[in-house]
Amino acid sequence: MCTYLPAACSIFGFRPALTLAVRSVDLLSRKSDRNKKEHHTDQYHSDQLVIRRGQTFQIELDLSRTFNPNTDKLHLELKTGDPNSWVSKRTHIIIPLVDELQDESWEAKIVEQNVNRVKLSVNSPITAVIGKYKLTVTTQCLKTSETTTHDSDKDIYMLFNPWCEDDTVYMEGEKELKEYVLNDTGRIYYGTEKQIGARTWNFGQFDEGILEACLFVLDNSEVPPSGRGDPVNVVRVISAMINSPDDRGILEGNWSGNYAGGTSPTAWSGSVEILRQYHKEGGTPVKYGQCWVFSGVTTTVLRCLGIPTRSVTNFQSAHDTDVSLTTDVYFDENMEPIHHLNSDSVWNFHVWNDCWMARPDLPPGMGGWQAVDSTPQETSHGTFRCGPASLAAIRSGQVYLKFDTPFVFAEVNSDKIYWQRNLDSTFSQIHSEKKAVGHCISTKAVGSDERVDITHLYKYPEDSEEERIAVETACRYGSKPDVYSSPIAEDVRVEVMMEGEGPRMGGDAQLKIVVKNTSSQPRRTTLHSQVAVMYYTGVLKDTVKKDTLNVELKPQEEKIIDWVLPYTQYQNQLVDQAALMLTLSGRVSETQQVLANQTSFRLRTPDLHIEPIGESCVGKETSAKITFTNPLPCTLRNVVIRVEGLGLRDLHPIRVGDVSKHANVTVTEHFIPTIAGKRKLVASLDCKQLSQVHGVADIDVHESQ
């Protein structure tokens, strides 16, 4: 659209030959154009111009006549956050035409001119605000003082630039950038430390409509566009907007086991449908999410905006509710747990995110990976969000550095302190576990689907002097700074062991209790055991079995006790994740040493097996066979298999119906690939009686001949 602004005219009226107007603007935004290739944005399914800040891009103008730099003027204007665009807040940008481009400023230069067509090279500063910009081109003829404006019919999307050394999100290494920014699928880990499961997640950050949805999320927040140039600020906003309790964010959390009116968290296998639904419905939270869903969507949004990000799973993850930086377990005089006091919990696993950036707001050395947790657990400055917290600060116990470092430190490195109530209602510390939380911290490896352990990035080796110093440093800033004043001697140890991959759903659960006397004297104890069904968050539901074991140990003797939980005792009690917690407690008769141990385990579920049928080509229908065996000695009701694959097909629910006990089910899924290359077809089972059943297959898609 062109607008002519009248200026001084001769008595003969306008002289059109002198008027300089823009007839059209070409943003060179096609996938094959140089802009998207150089800015690593050619995977975005968008015909708009998607670029990264701090890097030049090119546009072409078709003018009404030849541009004469001696008698004509031309400048560009970009606006984001309209109608609240201000030059002073860097949301209304005026880009002058210059002879030579300088770094760190908005400027444009003519690099090619052919009669009426002009190609401009445009530079953006590394601090530019990210978001969607409207482009206006203004021209002026100095001879007549006539001014015209032309609004581009396409928009410019500005992203962070991890390829640019001066951007605070800069990451070195092409393999790392390919993984943490450009990879649109990944792996998310779950289960327990001894039974680690993995599921494929479709991040889909380049899918159609996802970039627009991510910017809609930012627009829906209370942060003005002027605050979107700082990745620390953007990450903190996204952490809050992924959940919904206080700001109508993307996902509504639900840990109740009742998912009526929404989708079970275990049934999701990607972020695309969640973000599309949130955008389409104008910001109504999508039902429902749990930690791995919050994390998967966070990875999608941050990678889409240009911030290197990964999903991270912490096994035995503590939830400290009183800022003590310890995980506290309370018993009464008879060594029975005091449930109303045990508000601290240890989740079997918890999934959050790491994102990569410099931290100029912190002391030197605190840049690099930052922990971000979008699952709504505790508020931070009045809002459910967490991070970014520097991993370097977490590792060293510097919990006074922002943001929310104490909470993340407690998740990965708090000691578990056991307290017993005295007759006068005070409590005494009776036992401590220094290795109870923060195990096997896991993420997907760069360039492969293997799991890599990154525990060493979060804490020093257990029991090393550096690790103990970090813990005690952190606790000095907590609500119980004197907890380490009285170390306790111990010579009897109790632990729980599991054989192989552990118990399977539908069968008896078998574990081994190991009791060892490390002293030169005999020892006697009575062990009280109770096993309870547990949500993966560490919240106990119902106790399903209690036992008492009398144990006598000779000097240096180790005893292994078989422990069995029959299927009939847990079959009607399980909740999502099929997790249980075995709690052992007791006292050594000779020394009054308290024995305490809590072990969580899950009942392993079967996989969905996906087998591609024939060769796959772009634009041609192909098929895959999906098979599943019901592991339970009862009928599964209303089974649905949800199938999706980036570049293969959108989410498609297959209604299977009822599946008899131990029965085999086979369904065939038909789809038409749209993108060549190695793609992943992901399937998940949606069934009230059985969760965390999923599968994935690699599909090699060839170009059509």
What are the strands, taking DSSP E only, across 83-233? 92-95, 107-114, 117-123, 131-141, 146-151, 156-159, 185-192, 195-202
Confirm or deny that 413 is annotated as ligand binding.
yes
Q: Which residue among 128, 159, 190 closes a domain?
A: 159
| 691: in domain | yes
Q: Are 57 and 145 in the same domain?
A: yes
State pLDDT tens for residues 64-121.
999 998 999 999 999 998 667 777 778 899 999 998 888 778 999 999 999 899 999 9
φ/ψ region of 91 (left if φ > 0, alpha if ψ in -120 to 50, else beta) reads alpha
| 344: in domain | yes
Question: Stretch 190-211: mean pLDDT, rounded?
Answer: 94
Q: Is the pLDDT of residue 487 over 60?
A: no
Q: Which residue among 581, 602, 623 closes a domain?
A: 602
Instruction: Label the pairing between strands 156-159 and 131-141.
Output: antiparallel
What are 167's two structure tokens? 């951007």
Q: Which residue among 602, 624, 640 closes a domain?
A: 602
Overall number of domains in the chain: 4
pLDDT bucket at 480, cuts 50 / 70 / 90: low
Q: Are 107 and 189 in the same domain?
A: no
Closest CA to 133 of 209, 62, 236, 48: 48
pLDDT value of residue 690: 85
Dihedral (CA of 422, 426, 432, 436) sign: positive
What are the strands, taking DSSP E only, across 290-415? 309-319, 327-331, 345-357, 368-372, 379-380, 383-384, 389-390
Question: Stretch 232-247: mean pLDDT, rounded?
Answer: 90
pLDDT value of residue 256: 87
State pLDDT tens for residues 628-641.
999 988 899 999 99
Closest CA to 573 of 540, 529, 548, 606: 540
Q: Which entry of 214, 291, 355, 475 is annotated as an active-site residue?
A: 291
Q: Are 591 and 618 in the same domain?
A: no
Q: Is the pLDDT of residue 537 over 70?
A: no
Compare 333 and 489 and report the one with higher pLDDT.
Answer: 333
| 8: in domain | no
pLDDT value of residue 383: 61
pLDDT bucket at 9, cuts 50 / 70 / 90: very low
Instruction: Label the pairing between strands 2-5 and 146-151.
Output: antiparallel
pLDDT value of residue 255: 87
pLDDT bucket at 571, cuts 50 / 70 / 90: confident
State pLDDT tens for residues 671-695.
999 999 999 999 999 888 888 899 9
Instruction: Label the pairing between strands 622-629 and 616-617.
Output: unpaired
Q: Are 617 and 654 in the same domain?
A: yes
Compare 376 and 425 and report the one with higher pLDDT.
Answer: 425
Closest CA to 188 of 286, 319, 293: 293
Question: Stretch 597-602: mean pLDDT, rounded?
Answer: 84
Tell me which residue has tokens 């199938």: 643
State pLDDT tens for residues 159-196.
999 999 999 999 989 999 999 999 999 999 999 898 89
Closest CA to 530 of 504, 578, 498, 496: 496
Q: Is the pLDDT of residue 259 over 70?
A: yes
State pLDDT tens for residues 379-403.
445 566 788 999 989 988 888 898 9
Q: Is the pLDDT of residue 241 over 60?
A: yes
| 83: in domain | yes
> Residue 303 belongs to a domain with what CATH number?
3.90.260.10
Q: Are 576 and 628 in the same domain?
A: no
Q: Which entry of 207, 373, 576, 686 is annotated as an active-site residue?
A: 373
Confirm or deny that 415 is annotated as ligand binding.
yes
Q: Is the previous residue joined to 388 through a cis bond, with omega within 30 degrees of 0?
A: yes
| 1: in domain | no
Tell me which residue has tokens 């399903």: 544
Q: Are 469 and 577 in the same domain?
A: no
Which range among 135-149, 278-292, 568-582, 643-657 shows the weakest confidence by mean pLDDT?
568-582
Q: Are 592 and 616 in the same domain?
A: no
pLDDT value of residue 347: 84
From CA 121, how far away is CA 347, in angstroms rounded? 53
pLDDT bucket at 512, cuts 50 / 70 / 90: very high
User: Phi, psi at residue 657, to the nearest 5°?
Assistant: 90, -145
634 burial (CB, 10 Å; 0-12 / 13-18 / 19+) is middle
State pLDDT tens for residues 310-332.
999 999 998 876 666 778 888 88
| 17: in domain | no
From CA 472, how far away is CA 468, in angstroms rounded? 6
Q: Which entry of 150, 350, 431, 694 is annotated as an active-site residue?
A: 350
| 482: in domain | no
| 576: in domain | yes
pLDDT value of residue 13: 44
40: annotated active-site residue: no
What are the strands, taking DSSP E only, across 410-481? 416-421, 427-433, 439-444, 451-453
> Residue 119 belongs to a domain with what CATH number?
2.60.40.10
Q: Is the pLDDT of residue 659 over 80?
A: yes
Domain of residue 106: give its range: 22-159
Average pLDDT of the residues of the chain: 88
373: annotated active-site residue: yes
Question: Stretch 39-48: mean pLDDT, rounded?
Answer: 94
pLDDT value of residue 321: 65
- Report which secondary-structure segment, H or E, holds 302: helix 291-305
pLDDT value of residue 337: 85
Compare 26 and 337 and report the one with higher pLDDT.
Answer: 26
Q: What is the largest distance, in Å, between two alpha-carbon atoms of the chain?
A: 117
Q: Are 523 and 563 in the same domain?
A: yes
Collapsed DSSP state (helix, strand, coil) of residue 180:
helix
Question: Stretch 235-243: mean pLDDT, rounded?
Answer: 93
Q: Are 471 and 506 in the same domain?
A: no
pLDDT value of residue 10: 40
670: annotated active-site residue: no
Q: Is the pLDDT of residue 8 over 80?
A: no
Q: Is the previous residue joined to 216 through a cis bond, with omega within 30 degrees of 0?
A: no
Q: Is the pLDDT of residue 14 over 70?
A: no
Verdict on whether the full-model pTM lies above 0.75: yes
Q: Are 372 and 237 in the same domain?
A: yes
Q: Is the pLDDT of residue 514 over 50?
A: yes
Strands of 609-613's sheet, edge to edge?
609-613, 622-629, 664-671
For 85, how many CA atoms within 13 A lie in the half-sphere containing its CB? 17
Q: Are 408 and 503 in the same domain?
A: no
pLDDT bucket at 378, cuts 50 / 70 / 90: low
End-to-end CA distance of the chain: 42
Q: Is the previous residue joined to 288 through a cis bond, with omega within 30 degrees of 0?
A: yes
pLDDT value of residue 692: 84
Q: Are 471 and 433 in the same domain?
A: yes
